[in-house]
Structure 1
């Protein structure tokens, strides 16, 4: 979408999601790489990370209702997901990114394009979203003999991944985003309220993929630099 056609409130919400994600990953890095007594697997920090993911997924669904390049967008996200999987796997052995957020978002966007899900009316989307979430809950209670079907949410008891968003139940959140997009943007309009105060956050939202790809190297580099300065 061209800059003069962008919807500021979506960029702003995506920018908020970026800030939540950075906060979560900062806590994760401090705990995992610098042995700081920070709990990120539960409590406020855990839900900060999940809130970021849910917001990203909802916004991806909303954006898919008016994007004209969903197939290209989806393939691009999956490609970047594969690159990150390879780089992180080499840099941090055992990190286990299995069907991470980029793989998931790319798959959803491609499925939306191929199955023409945006042609479903709002009640049908809401019903399908709830069925997807329920199916994910059922799948999470099934102990599989292997993890071949992990992208669908079917795993065995020993499954572990640091970044894992299976199609079920998370496809339901994406479909809720599609439904929201049809409700909020059935007619072209803008929500009033854009102004200078939200420009920095909206800027992050406009460049969310770039920020996503770069934020961890930047955080880790800064933490390493601070550690070295403390030793001086």
Structure 2
């Protein structure tokens, strides 16, 4: 799943929070939920969004993810502005790490071929530790390092970093199969940029009042963003699954696949009813294994080809 994540709550005392930043985090959560809902709908064949190929969708993912990382960096500056408190930092880090472990465990169970081994929560946990080295440095230095991280991470790739032990760093020569891969490079550039912004404008969001039901709701979500992250996707995924059971998907891509598959099957002398059932089974298997999106967009990888062959073999069984 080309999944998107969130910035966890920053561990500040209730009286020292800045509601405007909570609202910004809440808006990012809303955008993330819309993206994940689109992913879920595509996964279950309820929609045909080209999330991995359409430049607009790719740009949306980049903007949403960057906004969370930027807010994580700003939050780290705010959390340490009165000095570093090891206990508070470690409690927050523990919550994020536990959330990352839960996401990985669930993804290995649901998507064993494309699990989340270093997603956004993993990234934020590691970047928060690294970021401590920058929260007292001059902002121009931190912003320069952020720019360098983005430049190196987006232009360089080396085969040794494809190793399962090193790919979390980035610099891979090929992107690994994962539903949410947020390697250290280039994405730590977002966290460092947030630290730089927080250092340049220490009063960011201070004194801005939040009013109205929508503003208060967004601020509430922003204050509890880790919980929202961990709960929203299972909820959306369940809703999409239920909708797929109640309303069999008939997107143009699925209709085209069904028509082509059934026609090919009938030319082999198989009865139309059997062909229709088998082709529907193949499409469902592709969707269940997270391969339908790439297949519908004509981006079938070697893993996808194996998955297609396995789906066809399974669906032909009596």
Superposition TM-score tier, normalisation by shorter sequence:
0.7 to 0.9
Q: Does 1:62 align with 2:79?
A: no
Instruction: Output the CA distance in 1 between the equivalents of 2:18 and 2:135.
Output: 19
Cα distance in 2, alignment partners of residues 145 and 11 from structure 1: 36
Runs ≥4 in structure 1, deviation > 6 angstroms? none
Indicate conservation of the 8 Å contact 2:20/2:205, yes or no.
no
1:71–1:109 contact (8 Å) kept in structure 2: no
1:50 shift after superposition: 2.2
1:126–1:179 contact (8 Å) kept in structure 2: yes
Judging changes above 3 Å, is the alpha-carbon distance between structure 1 residues 227 and 2 closer, same or farther for their aligned structure 2 residues? same
**TM-score, scaled relative to structure 1:** 0.88
Q: Among 201, 204, 221, which residue is 2:238 paired with?
A: 221
Equivalent position of 2:58 in the other structure:
46
Q: How many pairs align?
A: 227
Contact 1:144/1:157, CA 8 A, preserved across alignment = no
Superposed CA deviations along residues 57-113 of structure 1, whole A, max 9, x for unmatched, are 000000001214333323321221122101221123213213110000010112223
Q: 2:158 aligns with which of 136, 139, 142?
A: 142
Decide which of 64, 83, 96 is 2:102's aligned counterpart.
83
Determine the C-alpha separation between the residues in 1 that align with 2:161 and 2:50.
Answer: 31
> Residue deviations 1:152-201, cap 9 Å, x none?
1032436222211111111111111001111222x587143521141121
Contact 1:61–1:181 (CA under 8 A) maintained in structure 2: yes
Unaligned runs of 5+ in 1: none
What TM-score, normalized by structure 2, do the two folds share? 0.66
CA distance 1:188–1:167, shift in 2 (3 Å):
closer
Q: How does 1:127-206 map to 2 (within 5 A)?
A: 127-139=144-156, 141-144=157-160, 146-147=162-163, 148-157=165-174, 159-185=176-202, 187=203, 190-196=206-212, 197-206=214-223
Tell me if the contact between 2:167 and 2:183 (Cα under 8 Å) persists in the aligned partners.
yes
CA distance in 1, matches of 2:120, 2:175: 21
Whether contact under 8 Å (2:44, 2:244) holds in the other structure is no
Residue segments in structure 2 that go unaligned for 5+ positions in a row:
1-11, 80-84, 249-318
Matches within 5 A, 1:104-143: 104-113=123-132, 116-139=133-156, 141-143=157-159
Higher mean Cα deviation, 190-199 or 24-33? 190-199
**Structure ID, larger Rg:** 2
